[in-house]
Chains A and B, each alone.
Chain A
């Protein structure tokens, strides 16, 4: 049997990877024995002994670390889903304004996009939290009577209360992502042949009906992949919750690592949590995608 040079290269590469991993593991085990920590997941079932400001299911400090992590995961999921919806609504609106007939509206939405895209998300989040909410101090804003009240405690809308931490994260993430979604929507609609607009106009359809029935269905295949990657970015960006004090999966993980001094286990848990979140979002988008393509074929 002859061994080709390609197999030799692969074998050498695999050997190199194995050696690299072994050296790293060796270093880390030396460091762990030196500090006397070791590697195990038994601590997951010990009481967490820290309080959580927000938890969708009953939780008390005597519950286990695992339960606290699950609460964090649910909190993440909650803020991701709400921001995803709000960002899509704002983003589609801005994206359509950007290509609309009204020149002034186009200029204003272009200004919105550049301001949002050329400043860091973390700065925007801090702005929402410290300036928009916390600096209200004692004042309570009631823009539309008793239906909506905004204070440094958060937002109360039709009896639903949202904490200031959750609200600033929701608004910050939605506004930031909406600027990117707007560009995705604009790109998708521009990818549809200009002749399509002319033909539906010559059929006597108005722009709204034409956009809804003719243009958007053709633009969707170009929009959906971009939208999916923006949703995944949003999910990853939601970990900046720690800057405004919202207890998402990353913030709780951070607290636990500080308490237990186990960064490696913490990293593995975070990695798995995000694997689940990503699968959740990309599978959801895949289902939407097949729903749209199958309805088009019928």
Chain B
């Protein structure tokens, strides 16, 4: 029975059998090489010694509980989201918790209100990666919605301006937006007003990502049938009420898969700040490799970073699929 199934799935004809055998030998050879390297040849001391750096950057030693607390909260929140349907009362609070989560990060990292201030150049590692991602995501969603609505507006001036913004942003590479964000934002601000590198990066990410979100949301808006607006008008609702209460919720549900993909992409793209002088996860890896003590340990550091990014991104994707499923259920009910 099992043999028959295997034959059907992997050995149905000669060509198939040859492919299967080639793949099996390829898998065996590469797995043994990789496992041998991981357990015997690789020297993981560079990762072990620098573990706090990878997670928290060069945050002051006695204050490490702050990024630590914030990261644990994310982990708890992520698992709560995944398990939410089992506990009835949790789902109501989740959206509020997720939104308040980025400002909490700024407070815990930056200090103030009783916490000793820590300068942004001491922020780093995975903590900074997640801070950049969450803050930019939360800011760019409303901006993206406004741009998408603007592009669909019947007022030509607003429509043209939104289109121009979206199309220009989408044709420029991200690294250019980030680089010029670092250089030009101080030039555009009045003298005396200065913002640090992390906030400049967040502004640049927000400006860039919102153009992409806008296009995804526009796709969602176009999928909502015209009759929905007409139904709203018949009920005597104000156009603004129709947009916010009837059209947008449906559009966002349709756009959700692409929006969450953008979020995963955003997290990966925060690594670009490594070439622009922030020590987020990839940046801290580079600065560790620049340390003479660990010189030449490229493979260990890069493999470790890839694994870390993979776990975080896959977790994000899992949460996203879970959200999509829940939304779909809601629609049916």
Contacts and interface: CB of A to CB of B under 8 A. Distances in A.
Nearest to A243: B275
A13 interface: yes
A30 B272 CA distance: 31
Nearest to A257: B183
Contacts of B27: 108
A236 B173 contact: yes
Interface string B106-150: 000000000000000000000000000000000000000000000
Interface residues of A, number: 54
Contact of A267 (B23, B184, B190, B268): B184
Nearest to A26: B190
Interface residues of B, number: 51
Interface stretch (A42-50, A67-75, A111-119, A143-151): A111-119
B14 to A, nearest CB: 12
B190 A120 contact: no
B289 to A, nearest CB: 8
Given A10-B156, A118-B264, A239-B176, A123 B20 contact: no
Contact of B171 (A134, A243, A274): A274
Contacts of A254: 179
Q: Is the interface of A mostly helix, strand, loop or mixed?
A: helix
Interface in A6-35: 6, 9-10, 13-14, 17, 24, 27-28, 30-32, 34
A31 B189 CA distance: 9
Contact of A123 (B175, B187, B306): B306
Given A108-B23, A119-B268, A274-B172, 11 more contacts: A32-B187, A104-B20, A105-B20, A118-B313, A120-B269, A122-B272, A237-B173, A250-B176, A264-B187, A267-B176, A274-B173
A13 B158 contact: yes
Interface stretch (A125-133, A161-169, A184-192): A125-133
From B154, B168, B272, name the one whose CB has the most chain A CB atoms within 10 angstroms.
B272
Q: Is the interface of B mostly helix, strand, loop or mixed?
A: helix
B184 A118 contact: no
B275 A27 contact: no
B161 interface: yes
A132 to B, nearest CB: 10
Contacts of A130: 298, 302
Nearest to B150: A13
A2 interface: no
B187 A239 contact: no
18 contacts: A6-B154, A6-B155, A10-B156, A13-B158, A13-B161, A27-B189, A30-B190, A101-B12, A102-B20, A103-B10, A105-B23, A119-B310, A120-B282, A127-B302, A257-B183, A263-B187, A267-B184, A271-B172
